[in-house]
Chain A
C-alpha cells in the first residue's frame, strides 16, 4: 500500500519568513495530494490540494508543488503569521478510492 513520509517533524520560523514542508510517496498510481492544517482541539482543515496533472498550485500565501517523477510534493507558506502555527499533514490517494494515507505531520511554530 501507499506510504507517505513527511519532513520536518517540527519547524520553527520567525513571523514573515517562509516555511517549506516536504512529503514523499511510494505508490506511483497516487494522483491526488491534499494538505491539511490541524489546530489544537480541532479537526483537520483542507487548505490546498494538487492533482497529478498539475505541477504547481497557489492560493494567496500558500502553494503546493508536485514532482511526479521523484514522487514528492511540498507545501510552501510565505510571509508566515502567528496564526499559521499548527500541525500540517500531507496525504496521498488514488482518486477513485479516496482513502487518504497521511504523513506523520509537521508542527509549525511561527514566533512573533
Chain B
C-alpha cells in the first residue's frame, strides 16, 4: 500500500472563496484521483489527475470549478473555486500504485464546510 496524507484535514470557508487541497504520497504512484463524498453519501469521482497534463473530468465536474494539478508522481492538488454551501463535502484523493496493480488506496479526506 501507500501512505497518503491530505492537507488541510478540515476547513470552514466563506462562500465565494476558494480552497486548495493537497494530496501527498510517500512513494511514486501511477494514478491519482479525486473523489467527493457529500454528507452521508457515497463517493463520486471528480477527476483523474494526470501528471504533466490536464486532468480528466467526469460528467458534471468542470475545470473552472475544480482545477487540479499533478506536477509529479507523488503530489496533487484540488482547488474548489467560488465555493457555495453545496460544496460542503469530504474531498478524498486516491492512488493506484503501479500499472500492474488493481488496488486503489484512499487518503484520510478533507472535510470542507462552506458557510
Residues of A within 8 A of B (CB): 32, 34, 36, 42-46, 49, 51, 89, 95, 98-105
Contacts and interface: CB of A to CB of B under 8 A. Distances in A.
25 contacts: A32-B102, A34-B103, A36-B106, A42-B108, A43-B4, A43-B106, A44-B92, A44-B106, A45-B106, A46-B1, A46-B103, A46-B104, A89-B42, A95-B102, A98-B33, A98-B96, A98-B102, A98-B104, A99-B48, A99-B58, A100-B45, A101-B45, A102-B42, A104-B41, A105-B41
B62 interface: no
Majority secondary structure of chain B interface residues (helix, strand, loop or mixed)? strand
A103 B42 contact: yes
A46 B41 contact: no
Interface of B: 1, 4, 31, 33, 41-45, 48, 58, 92, 94, 96, 102-109
Contacts of A34: 102-104
B42 A49 contact: no
Nearest to A51: B102
Given A42-B109, A45-B106, A99 B41 contact: no
A2 B63 CA distance: 23
Nearest to B90: A43
A78 to B, nearest CB: 23
Contacts of A43: 4, 92, 106-109
5 pairs of A and B residues whose beta carbons are closest in the complex: A43-B106, A43-B108, A102-B42, A44-B106, A102-B43
Contacts of A102: 42-44
A46 B109 contact: no
Contacts of A95: 102
Contacts of B94: 100
